[in-house]
Amino acid sequence: MLPQSRRDLILRTLRADGPSEVRALADKLGVSQATIRRDLEHLDTEGRLTRVYGGAMVVDDDHDDPWADVAAERVEDKDAVARACADMIKDGETVLLDIGTTAHRLARLLHGRALTVITSNLAVFDELRDDENVELVLLGGVVRRAYHSLVGYLTEDNLRQVHANRLFLGTSGVRGDGAVMDTTVVEVPVKRAMIKAADQVVLMADGGKFPGVGMARVCGPEILNVVVTTASADPATRRAFTDAGVEVVEA
């Protein structure tokens, strides 16, 4: 057993079974606890795991990465929304995926599907770049590292040249009157261009987005065709959607 293989195995064990003690790892791998300690120290300095007293755990996501913080929030809700969205997509369709973590969760469910996916979401790109089944179209733009996205006039230009059956739109929050909001102003023109490029607009907004934050208004409820949300969504806002003729799906 090579030292490097052993370290890889430690990481895989931690990812599969969660935090583990030094003793358990030593028994499992058939080496002394001293060796395990040295391995853990090594992997810790590499940033691949977090050393804790008595053992180690998989690395705690970067906190200076706004994406990581958001990505960890309400994962179950977002996955539920993503599943409902994935069920709406038929093979052969062209779908447009907005930036944000919910769209990324949706992309995870599209592996192996015969689809064309258009996106400016780098997390979606990373998820699907090796999947031969998916025809993947990346919109141009300036790389915004903190948001894992591409933005700018190049993105908008590209969006004027493409067309999709469905847009899956993310949001930072929904106002009581059904208006879709966003905190990052620079993304708003991109979102509007996406809306123009799609036949149908599906808003992905788990219950935590009702009522929501965001200084910039992206669009009103009348633009939307479907809203996919969860049980915890505010009833008044839901009514605003149904009143505007939007189909509300509870995932």
Partner DNA sequence: AAGAGTTTGCTCAACTTTGCGCAAGTTGGG
Partner DNA sequence: CCCAACTTGCGCAAAGTTGAGCAAACTCTT
Give the binding site for a second copy (CB under 8 A).
2-5, 18-19, 21, 50, 52-55, 57, 62, 122, 125, 129-130, 132, 135-143, 145, 150, 152-155, 157-158, 161-162
**Which of 80, 138 has the CB closer to DNA?**
80
CB-based contact 144:161 (threshold 8 Å):
no
CB-based contact 120:153 (threshold 8 Å):
no
Distance CA 31, CA 77 (A): 42
**Which of 41, 69 has the CB closer to DNA?**
41
**Which of 34, 146 has the CB closer to DNA?**
34
In the complex, the smallest distance separating the C-beta of residue 95 from DNA, rounded to whole angstroms, is: 35
**Which of 38, 83 has the CB closer to DNA?**
38
132 makes contact, choosing from DNA, a second copy, none, with CB < 5 to 8 Å by partner type, with a second copy
Residue 10 gets the label, from left (phi > 0), alpha (psi -120 to 50) or beta, of alpha
Chain CA centroid to CA 186, Å: 19
In the complex, the smallest distance separating the C-beta of residue 121 from a second copy, rounded to whole angstroms, is: 12
141 makes contact, choosing from a second copy, DNA, none, with CB < 5 to 8 Å by partner type, with a second copy
C-alpha pair distances (Å), 100 with each of 8, 104, 107, 142, 146: 30, 7, 11, 16, 11
